[in-house]
Amino acid sequence: MRRVFLSEYLVLWLSLVYFAALAPFTPGFASWSNFQTILAYLLPLLVVAVGLTLVLIIGGIDLSVTSIIALASVVGGKIMSSEEGWLAGHALAVPAGLMAMLLVGVGIGMINGFAVTTCRIPAFIATLTTMMFVSGLAIWFTLSRKIGGLPPSFVMLGQKLWIAAVITGVATWLAHVTLARTLFGRWLYAIGHNAKAALVSGVPTARVTFATYVLCGLFAGLASILFTAGLETGNPEMARDNLLDVVGAVVIGGTSLYGGRGRVVGTVFGVLFLALVDNSLNLLGLNFYTVTMVKGGVILAAALLDAMRNKFLARG
């Protein structure tokens, strides 16, 4: 039991057990069409969760990721929309829109990184402030209106699940390789374990921390592309209710809230587990508030599990 408790595949086993337990009692839970629904929900959530994993490994936090998704969504919509887009009907509308959405993520990530490293503002306060400002900016920018008329060549990125799966798979694999096989990845773990010791050891902690927030913003911009293409609209409130899911999936996947520990594979399992829980509760006809309470309880249990695992590991 100890080996299972400390196993990095614990959440995957829990996901399989949960699915097997709920399938007989939840109509349509094991159907092919529902599998596609789970996948459509899971893919963009996984992209932004992978970016947040990098930040949590260094002992930071980024509460602005869902606000980045919303702002990138409306900026991309304003550029590409055939109804009101700045480049409506132009051959470069989609490439320009995609680039702008990614740059929004990178730009806000740079602001967060600058606030944390240069201004030395605690990450929680810095990213909370950014979240509030960016959310308001997205609503002001569109006057709370959704932007429709997005080009079919853009919409297919989210509507065709195999394309979204390829994009998500490549992004996730690159993050995994970065953590597991590069010097930058080792630096992230070193900062998370002990930032002062890492600095004394020659790790450029400020530059690495700054780059990590930029990468997190980039992943949020990429997630915005998948969210926006899947829903076919630029929405100033895009993913507003998904922050709990993103943070929860990363924590459930085994990334420590204390920094220094976490893997991309674990985040994949965490997103899968949370997607199964969310989908099954909706199929059972529970209301939004009940679903939120249950997910909050699951995330709390994951945080307690993380604390217990840390104690076991500390004892060797």
pLDDT over 90 (residue 250): yes
* Cα separation, 195 vs 116, whole angstroms: 13
Integer Cα distance of 80 and 218 in angstroms: 20
The pLDDT value recorded for residue 298 is 80
pLDDT recorded at residue 313: 67
Helices 65-80 and 243-252 pack at an angle, to 10 degrees, of 130
* Residue 90 DSSP code: -
What pLDDT does residue 160 have? 94
Task: State the sign of the Cα–Cα–Cα–Cα dihedral 210, 212, 213, 214.
Answer: positive
Average pLDDT score over the chain: 92
Higher-confidence position of 183 and 294: 183
Decide if pLDDT at 308 tops 90: no
What mean pLDDT comes out for the span 212-239?
Answer: 97
Mean pLDDT of 22-49: 94
pLDDT-based confidence at residue 296 (cuts at 50, 70, 90): confident
pLDDT tens-digit map of 75-126: 999 999 998 899 998 999 999 999 999 999 999 999 999 999 999 999 999 9
Is residue 260 a contact partner of residue 59, using CB atoms and an 8 Å limit?
yes
Q: What radius of gyration do the chain's Cα atoms show?
A: 20
Provide the pLDDT for residue 210.
98
Per-residue pLDDT, 269: 94
User: Is residue 105 within 8 Å of residue 219, measured between CB atoms?
Assistant: yes
H-only helix segments in 182-286: 183-193, 195-200, 205-231, 243-252, 264-283
Residue 309: pLDDT over 80? no
CB 235 within 8 A of CB 146: yes
Tell me which of 111 and 287 has the higher pLDDT.
Answer: 111
pLDDT, one tens digit per residue, over 133-165 is: 999 999 999 999 999 999 999 999 999 999 999
Residue 316 in this model has a pLDDT that exceeds 70: no
* Gap between the Cα atoms of 226 and 186, Å rounded: 30
Return d(Cα 146, Cα 83) in angstroms, integer. 12
pLDDT at position 295? 83
Sign of the alpha-carbon torsion through 69, 71, 75, 81: positive
Report pLDDT for 1. Answer: 66
Neighbours of 178 (CB within 10 A): 16
- Is residue 196 over pLDDT 80? yes
Sequence-distant (≥ 6) Cβ neighbours of residue 28 within 8 angstroms:
34, 283
Q: Is the pTM of this model over 0.85?
A: yes
- Region 45-58: mean pLDDT is 97
What pLDDT, on a 0 to 100 scale, did the predictor assign at position 303? 73
